[in-house]
Structure 1
């Protein structure tokens, strides 16, 4: 949980004993226990409320698939392309790919500088 190992928890406990003192430590430990219980109750309440509002579809949801750590844009695009149009993927695979040297050059025109005393362009709808 939160990347805490047993050694780190032990060090935090020893520091708490020294900083808080043995008189106040039981009081703060009880407060921490109440906080953890209230957070757990809130999470369970939210889950129960979600189950009530979503109905039977709540159990059908694949929560691991919705995990943001599983987000891979390349995989999502690949799945979208293969599911929607498999013939487009095969056509794209059959087409020859352009190498960096064979790509057409893009020409960009430079804006012309303003003449002396010429006002700058102004867009009244942009403000």
Structure 2
């Protein structure tokens, strides 16, 4: 079992290093502080869950939290699903000759740019 990538071996090594660095006189104090921190974090998360449940009502229990897990994010699957669900695309009509002329005039670099005296 792994929590945030920490296996039992790594946790044991961290505990051993903490015992050596802190010493036997300070280790119980820091262990107590760590326990209090974990308990306060658990209380905060439980409070946030209960507040969300109160505000959202019965829909809170219907949410599939596993689906919202960011580790489930796979951009290839999302794009593949989006392409599969995409409805038929409308056909694009060819541009009218007048629109094509206007576009060509807009791109003409030989003429000076239009100037609007009222815009300044």
TM-score, with length taken from structure 2: 0.64
2:54 pairs with 48, 52, 63, which one? Answer: 52
**Could you say which residue in structure 1 is the equivalent of 2:71?**
69
Q: Unpaired segments of 5 or more residues in structure 2?
A: 90-108, 110-120
Richer in helix (by share):
2
Aligned Cα RMSD in Å? 2.0
Unaligned runs of at least 5 residues, structure 1: 90-111, 113-127
Aligned length: 88
From 43, 46, 55, give the equivalent of 2:45.
43
Provide the TM-score with structure 1 as the length reference. Answer: 0.61
* CA separation of 1:9 and 1:74: change in aligned 2, threshold 3 A: closer
**C-alpha distance in structure 1 between counterparts of 2:7 and 2:77, whole Å:** 33
Give, in angstroms, the shift of residue 75 of structure 1. 2.5
CA change 1:8–1:74 in 2 (3 A) is: closer
Partner-residue secondary structure (3-state), 2:35:
helix
- State the partner residue of 1:123: none
